[in-house]
Structure 1
């Protein structure tokens, strides 16, 4: 009996991670695909006339078990992968793509959907039902339902090829990251690097049975070296290794895969009647068109570039004082940190003792309690896929605390509510530390979406995955301030998922327009810079001393430090993404194409041996193809939304209640309508410019 095909006999029907074997996956996928296809056959073969209930709604609820097993498998393939799991992924991805194509190109099913869609005026549909009907119909059309049989077959093959090649791209990028390490035996070579980081490097060396120190290309290892190492040659060597990942014509090179992926996307777009893949994608985004995206990015570029150039001149002056006349990209973090320390008298390492992971997590839990009435209780009855993972029951209290009630974030964790109206809202998994089987970066994901069926509101299972420094035998996990904002960012996504309160799973939680999805995450980061909130949790892990006021003021003042540079960097990624997906025919040489597209945003000499495209997983593996601009787009939304909170009081219960409606609504309404219902007006780009540049 395959455990993945049975009803999970676990707490809250959560995944039985500890009992799943790798050999369970492939047969489970085959069986569940077959079961899901039978559900589709039942809809198609229903002798009754097509209706909203027996066609649209039945389709929305179909394939539930397959979705859950897919979520388990692909989440683990990102967070706890292995060679065996990656091999299974190569076999499973084409099966799922073929299954998806069978549904989207099922002519009899589409005919039923089209009949309901064409006759929708006769149904008394509410707003969410209307959205489900529209999205279902459009989804089928955009998946090729109106194509002839020959073109449907072409599209099916394209989708299968894309799924395999995108997966391979990510596996190559991860393998290239893991393949490199720098072994250092002379401590003097690591001059300038704080003791806590040296301890981390020593631990890494021990794990590899080596003396001295080991630096890797994993974020918590690489970034501190680039920030603090006085040894310029060492910084150069690491930067070169990082920039060569999947760009060295070696085993894990991704250059040909990039060309193949963008070519397949262009073929798909043309087959479906679009000029290019960006046109295809943006039809279903807030931005609507490549022209609007490029206008948006270029408007920000014009306004941000003078600030960025001024920032770099300041850094070059510092470098020149050290005898460096030709400042390079690998010098940026080192001199940016020097300048920040000179201007604001702190560095990340001296702040880290005030931000132990446990306190920061309690703070974000406390904020969710303050704004949205959520409580978190750690439990050990939910199975985990790794010992580092922690699990929580999340409850909702119907009466959030009053605005003027001071809260202590340390006491919201495990707190039992005194109200009788306390209900389970979600299950939360947290997974914070890097390891060989986990890809780089940070993300929020879902094992199970929220939905309502037969009168029961089925709650979601949400996960946050990060790569923070591991605790050592002497020190807990201590976060840089940037990592503090990262945790708040991912938790913003998690709140979006946990507060979901919709009828249908495919309109629930983060199932919103892609350029709207970053609003909740980026919005929550703003609280990290609010002094009254910071004081509740920024406390020294040894002494309990609250972060001194002057340091808090420096953090607040430093919020926009290097904002011009960071803005140009993001705009460069956005412009490069749009270029790949509007002009794939121009992509002959990956490096030359990348350099041409980012020339307006590049502020340092370009290194001919490095490129970022071969590890640009957001657009070649993830879902940000023709959508990377959405980070900046969402910054306009989050700046405008937080400005509203600042106007009314950052813990104002009425403002929070309106924002909670926006979050819980998922994709049931047009995002601009949701935003205007919350704010009272459309977002203004001036809110972002004012926050960034004053």
Structure 2
């Protein structure tokens, strides 16, 4: 048997095949429920394994809909969502399955291993959060809510994508692009009737390029206004989503959606999250105000607005640190960065990456098999360059999960790493900003968390079963190494001369890392606090804007313009699973900063703690609470002071 699933997708037959799989699953569930003496082996293992088959079938569609978005993929995806939601609601609310889990827990819990106990505990919690214990009327209403929510979140995401793609700003005056880096200009430049023109869009690389370097303030404002007023129709979707989330939380016995959200997370209570966020705001404000005054001094007499901060920030960064992003880009050629990252992961964890020559969804996509020592362990697919038909941002999407099936055969893991780096062409390579390098390391951290699992039970292997507010720990942990001098020297080579990035330039990069870090921290805390307070009671219409304004009064050092309706594009919480969970980024960052400094203090390569991190945190996936794994690895509780140290906040 070939160890990896083929990446295959037939849009024409997808819905009928999906229906067939779900029919088979219904029959399997009926057969399992008919078993007289249910045990972990004869009931839970086959039940858990059905999830793997469904994931393997559905993941190629969700992946293609994100990286090769077309009308056909949108149509099939939109058609598949309600089918899947109906099925997951049926399973999640099935009282017979819920009772079977509880009976097996009562009979066998003491004789099971840690992984198996975790499967039982998480599933029972999952059933309760899905409403398995409710009466029929409440269940039916919850099913309706779930269907509607899945449609709304998909619509929200599609509206943002459509609005992003619909806008372009054509610039004909050379003075309006003076100072923009040549690599960004090359991506923007096109010829029309013999005249050179420049097209800037709301796609991230293009938008950031103009906001950071674009000299024309009016054009910056025009782009900023277009970006922050995208998808106004999402306002109505937010109102409906918020009402549905509150109603579903109450049906399940919670006071609000934030409480419901925390039931499956590390954070112990809503009070603890609010206290955590507010303490970080207080710790960051004084330094943030100092950073703003420095920015105002550079902007000399201009009434500084939100659309000015990146532009003047870049000027200040150059003045303070003599740092010029463009000076670095020739040293961060995409393939060189990848090879260097592979070398680093070999040094740190003993991994080998071997390129596979297989046909994928795009000619720029790549596949690598990963060997841990001599053993074939996993496969990773990379799709790193921006395209018109690709969703913005960067993410890891798990495909296969490491586990043992009911026959005791080991299944290997695989995952996708997706980014939106500057496109390469025949005449120019893809030269990354250092931020892009950090992004690649971040997503690779997620990927290794999934791929290096040694857990046998599918439902708690890799990223499965990991608490949401611990999910970002491995990604943030790895991204910190993109600033380590000995790691940078593995790949920061000039793409033409082969010269390695100098110690002086590396030192500058590290000094500049925490440039405006308090302002950035406050921005992240603004998103987190808005999200958490939004879900702590029902907000509708103007109340949502009023709440955002009140949060901004504490966190936004530059007051955004009235027209900024950031919430209408806040996909993380309205279509990306982070509702009442955006705080997780900071919660996990406390873990990652603590572990990172402990390994750096051991000298990075050859670190005993790095080996423990691989064997405890990565290998055990979601089979134990991250709280337990962290304490086992470090030999102590987490210390939050390292988060402020990491961000240079005193």
TM bracket, shorter-chain basis: over 0.9
- Give 1:582's aligned residue: 536
The CA deviation at 1:82 is 1.1
- TM-score, length-scaled by structure 2: 0.97
Deviations for 1:559-586, whole angstroms, at most 9, x for unmatched residues?
2111100100000000111022112235
The CA deviation at 1:318 is 0.5
Deviations for 1:506-529, whole angstroms, at most 9, x for unmatched residues?
111112001111111101111111
Equivalents in 2 of 1:586, 1:102: separation in Å? 30
- Give 2:60's aligned residue: 72
The CA deviation at 1:266 is 0.8
- Give 1:117's aligned residue: 105
Equivalents in 2 of 1:104, 1:207: separation in Å? 57
- Give 1:439's aligned residue: 391
CA pair 469-93 structure 1, distance change in 2 beyond 3 A: same
The CA deviation at 1:239 is 0.7
- Give 2:311's aligned residue: 334
Q: Does 1:673 align with 2:628?
A: yes
CA pair 209-34 structure 1, distance change in 2 beyond 3 A: farther
Deviations for 1:656-680, whole angstroms, at most 9, x for unmatched residues?
2100021110011111110011111
Equivalents in 2 of 1:174, 1:68: separation in Å? 26
Q: Map of 1:74-473 to 2, 5 A cutoff?
A: 74-121=62-109, 123-202=110-189, 205=190, 211-247=196-232, 253-320=233-300, 323-324=301-302, 326-381=303-358, 383-397=359-373, 422-453=374-405, 454-473=407-426
- Give 1:61's aligned residue: 49
Equivalents in 2 of 1:223, 1:208: separation in Å? 28
Equivalents in 2 of 1:210, 1:67: separation in Å? 50
Q: Does 1:52 align with 2:40?
A: yes
- Give 1:413's aligned residue: none
The CA deviation at 1:84 is 1.9
Structure 1 contact 645–652 (Cα < 8 Å) conserved? no
The one of 587, 594, 610 aligned to 1:640? 594
- Give 1:687's aligned residue: 642
Q: Which moved more, 1:453-462 or 1:306-315?
A: 453-462
Structure 2 contact 460–621 (Cα < 8 Å) conserved? yes
Deviations for 1:402-442, whole angstroms, at most 9, x for unmatched residues?
xxxxxxxxxxxxxxxxxxxx121111110011112211100
The CA deviation at 1:478 is 0.4
3-state SS in 2 of match to 1:582: coil
CA pair 78-124 structure 1, distance change in 2 beyond 3 A: same
CA pair 63-690 structure 1, distance change in 2 beyond 3 A: closer
Tell me, which stretches of 5 or more residues in structure 2 are unaligned? none
CA pair 216-370 structure 1, distance change in 2 beyond 3 A: same
Deviations for 1:183-241, whole angstroms, at most 9, x for unmatched residues?
11222211111112111111xx4699995111111111110111111111111111111
3-state SS in 2 of match to 1:94: helix
CA pair 137-207 structure 1, distance change in 2 beyond 3 A: farther
- Give 1:548's aligned residue: 502
The CA deviation at 1:135 is 1.0
The one of 570, 575, 579 aligned to 1:616? 570
Equivalents in 2 of 1:289, 1:83: separation in Å? 43
The CA deviation at 1:175 is 0.6
The one of 17, 20, 27 aligned to 2:16? 27
Equivalents in 1 of 2:105, 2:130: separation in Å? 16
Structure 1 contact 492–521 (Cα < 8 Å) conserved? yes
The one of 453, 456, 461 aligned to 1:503? 456
Deviations for 1:591-645, whole angstroms, at most 9, x for unmatched residues?
3332223221111122111221111111111111111001111111111001110
- Give 2:6's aligned residue: 15
Equivalents in 2 of 1:605, 1:657: separation in Å? 46
Equivalents in 2 of 1:664, 1:316: separation in Å? 49
Deviations for 1:250-272, whole angstroms, at most 9, x for unmatched residues?
xxx21000111111111110000
Deviations for 1:110-161, whole angstroms, at most 9, x for unmatched residues?
222221123345x511111111111111111111111011111111111111
Structure 2 contact 4–379 (Cα < 8 Å) conserved? no
Structure 2 contact 403–411 (Cα < 8 Å) conserved? yes
CA pair 446-439 structure 1, distance change in 2 beyond 3 A: same
CA pair 682-209 structure 1, distance change in 2 beyond 3 A: farther
Equivalents in 2 of 1:189, 1:364: separation in Å? 37
Structure 1 contact 192–230 (Cα < 8 Å) conserved? yes
Structure 1 contact 40–62 (Cα < 8 Å) conserved? no
Q: Which moved more, 1:501-510 or 1:54-63?
A: 54-63
Equivalents in 1 of 2:53, 2:644: separation in Å? 46
Equivalents in 2 of 1:28, 1:92: separation in Å? 11
3-state SS in 1 of match to 2:399: strand
3-state SS in 2 of match to 1:172: helix
The CA deviation at 1:589 is 5.0
User: What is the number of residues matched between the two proteins?
Assistant: 646
Equivalents in 2 of 1:108, 1:529: separation in Å? 52
Q: Does 1:656 align with 2:610?
A: yes
Equivalents in 1 of 2:594, 2:575: separation in Å? 31
Equivalents in 2 of 1:497, 1:241: separation in Å? 37
3-state SS in 2 of match to 1:432: strand
Equivalents in 2 of 1:209, 1:432: separation in Å? 33
Equivalents in 2 of 1:536, 1:108: separation in Å? 56
Equivalents in 1 of 2:12, 2:361: separation in Å? 16
Equivalents in 2 of 1:568, 1:224: separation in Å? 23
Structure 1 contact 255–590 (Cα < 8 Å) conserved? no
Structure 2 contact 534–544 (Cα < 8 Å) conserved? no
The CA deviation at 1:296 is 0.3
3-state SS in 2 of match to 1:486: helix
The RMSD of aligned alpha carbons is 1.7
Equivalents in 1 of 2:540, 2:16: separation in Å? 43
